[in-house]
Structure 1
C-alpha cells in the first residue's frame, strides 16, 4: 500500500551576498517561517571557511561550492532537519557556480542542483553544466538557479526581448528538453506573467530564476509560486514549488 508523506517545499533564491550577519539571520528565519525543506541558493559570496555560518538547528545539513580565491559567486543547498535525507554523492566546481547533491528521501532517489550562471556567455556555461549534471543524475532531478537570462523573452520579460541571441536561447531550451527538464512555474501557470528581477541597466523586469524538475517527477508537483523576498537581490519574488512523494510499503 502506498501513502504520501507531507509534501516537501523547495525554494531557489539569489542572495547577493550573505557576509552580513543580519542577512544570514533573515535568510534562516525566512526559511523556517516558510517551512522550507530544501533551499537552493546562489550568489552567496562566502569563503569556504565561512559557509558554516548559514547553519542552525533547523538546517544542519548543508552543501556548498565557493570560489577558490575571492568572495564572489558561491552556491549552496540547505536541507531541513525534518527531511530524512541520506546523502550518497556531491559534485561541485571550483568557481562557486554549481553544486550537485544526490541521495534518498523516503527510499526514493533524488538529485538536487543549485546553479548560478555568469552574466556573460550564459548559454555556453549552462549547456556545459547541464551535460555534467546529466552524467551525475540519479533518480528524480530537481534543478534550481539563477540562469541570468530569460528562457522565453516574450513571456518572461517586461519588454518582450533579451540581449541574448534567440538562436543561443533556443539551443539552451533544446538542451533542457533533451534532459526532460520542465520549468515548474510555467508548467502550472502557462499563460501568466510574473518577474523575479529588475535590471536598472536595461530598464526591464524579467524572470531569470527557475526551478526545473524532470518530466517523470511532474506527477509529484503540487504547487509553484513566486513570492516576495524583500531582503534579497532578486527581491520581488521567490520560487516555492511543493512536491509530494510516494513511499511504497
Structure 2
C-alpha cells in the first residue's frame, strides 16, 4: 500500500484531570486543531472500572493506564484517525504511571510511551519503567511525559534551582543516558529558557514535561516547541518527526450545516442561486442540465463562505494565543 510522506506530530501534555466532559471535548478539539498525530497524556484521573470515553471522530483510538486506587494519576496514548496505526501490543501498569503501545504506521514500526512520574523518588520509578520499556519496545521509540523534575535546574527553572535533590536529578539523567534517550526540545534549544509549568506554591516556573527519542533517531526531528498554557495548567510539548505514515485518500465535500444558521450566508446563497438562474436560463440549456449545474454554484459559494468563517475564527484564536504568550513571557 502506498503512503504519503508527511510529518508525524507528537504532543505530550499533563491534562490535570479529564473527568469533566467539557474538558475532554476541549482537549480533543485542541488536538484536532493542532493536527496532532499522536497524543501522550498524563493525569487523566480516570477510575479503572468507570473510565469515561476519551475519543472523538478525530481521535477514535486510545490506550490507557488507570490508577486502581482512585481518581488520580492515569496516562493515555491517543491516535488521530488519519494515522494508519496497526496495533501489535500494549502494556500498562495498575499504578497509573505508564502506558506503552507498539505497532506499525505505514511500513515503520513504532513504540509510544506516556509516563507520569511521582513527585518524589522519580529516579527509582523511571528506572523501573525503562526496564519494562527496554523489553517491550521495537522500532522507533517515542517517550513523553511529566517527569515532575527539571533535568537541568539552572536552565529549566526560573529560579535557577529546585527543591528536588540533585542526587535524584543525576540518577534520572543517568537512566536516560543508559537508555540512549535525548531530550528533543533541549537538543534543538541548547541554551534557551522556557517552561511548561508554574508552581503557585513555589512561585516559580520549570520545564518538567518532555519528549525523548533515542540518539540514533534524533535525525528524524523536524522541530520541537513548547506551547501556551490554555485548558491545562501545563504547557503542551510538541515534536514533529519525519515519517511516511499517511494513506492518500480522496476528499469528499460535506455540507457544514452550521452555515445554514447564519442569516448572512443564507441571504448570500439565495442571491447567488437567483443570479445563476437569471444568467443561465437560456433556450440552449436544458432544464436537467441547468438544475444539476446550479448545485455546483451553491456548493462553491458555501465552500467559500466556510473558508472565510474558518479564517476569521483561526485569526481570533491566534490573536488570543499571541496575547497569552505575551502575558506568559512578561510573567516569566
Q: Do the aligned partners of 1:16 and 1:233 also contact (CA within 8 Å) in 2?
A: yes
- TM-score norm. by structure 1 comes to 0.94
| Deviation sequence 1:99-149 (CA, Å, 0-9, x none) | 011111111111100000111221111121112111211111100000000
Task: Name the residue aligned to 1:176.
Answer: 176
TM alignment of 1:185-196, pairs within 5 A = 185-196=185-196
Task: Name the residue aligned to 1:204.
Answer: 204
CA distance in 1, matches of 2:128, 2:71: 24
| Deviation sequence 1:68-107 (CA, Å, 0-9, x none) | 1311100000000100011111111001110011111111
TM alignment of 1:1-249, pairs within 5 A = 5-234=5-234, 237-246=235-244
Aligned partner of residue 198 in structure 2, secondary structure: strand
CA displacement at 1:155 relative to structure 2: 0.7
Unaligned runs of 5+ in 2: 246-332
C-alpha change, 1:122 and 1:87, in structure 2 (3 Å) is same
Whose strand proportion is higher, 1 or 2?
A: 1
CA displacement at 1:197 relative to structure 2: 0.6
CA distance in 1, matches of 2:113, 2:58: 21
CA distance in 1, matches of 2:3, 2:41: 30
Unaligned runs of 5+ in 1: none
CA displacement at 1:168 relative to structure 2: 2.2
CA distance in 1, matches of 2:157, 2:189: 15
CA distance in 2, matches of 1:126, 1:242: 24
Q: Do the aligned partners of 2:122 and 2:172 also contact (CA within 8 Å) in 1?
A: no
CA distance in 2, matches of 1:240, 1:88: 25
Q: Do the aligned partners of 1:61 and 1:80 also contact (CA within 8 Å) in 2?
A: yes
Structure 1 range deviating more: 42-51 or 102-111: 42-51
| Deviation sequence 1:152-187 (CA, Å, 0-9, x none) | 111100111111221221121111111110100001
Q: Do the aligned partners of 1:4 and 1:244 also contact (CA within 8 Å) in 2?
A: no
Q: Do the aligned partners of 1:51 and 1:64 also contact (CA within 8 Å) in 2?
A: no
Q: Which has the higher contact order (CA 8 A, sep 6+)?
A: 1
RMSD between superposed Cα atoms in Å:
1.6
| Deviation sequence 1:12-48 (CA, Å, 0-9, x none) | 0101111111101110100000000000000001123
Structure 1 range deviating more: 9-18 or 158-167: 158-167
